[in-house]
Amino acid sequence: MPDAFHWLDVDRIAEELADAHPSRDPLSVRFTELRELVKALPGFSERPGHPVNEKILETIQMKWLEERGDAEPPDED
């Protein structure tokens, strides 16, 4: 299944979440809920030996925020 993706495909997951949940604020989603939202995405498949952890979920959350365009731009001092 070439279109399948897994936990390490954080950019793809963020894009899929932004498309699937355009009105959700990524920062208001708890990691337990985020894990379930990702697992429910069409094409998502967990791979043996690649479990999800807090660091991956945090990365997905931040990339989802960026994908929505809500991220603060970097300071240009």
pLDDT digits (tens, 9 = 90+) for 24-36: 999 999 999 999 9
30, 26, 27: which is closest to 16 by C-alpha?
26
Asked if 51 and 7 count as a contact pair (C-beta separation under 8 A), the reply is yes
Q: Class for domain 10-68, per CATH?
A: mainly alpha
| Burial class of residue 11 in the structure, from the number of CB atoms within 10 Å of its CB (0-12 exposed, 13-18 middle, 19+ buried) | middle
Asked if 6 and 46 count as a contact pair (C-beta separation under 8 A), the reply is yes
Asked if 17 and 67 count as a contact pair (C-beta separation under 8 A), the reply is yes
pLDDT at 1: 44
Separation between Cα atoms, residue 52 and residue 76, nearest integer Å: 34
pLDDT at 72: 52
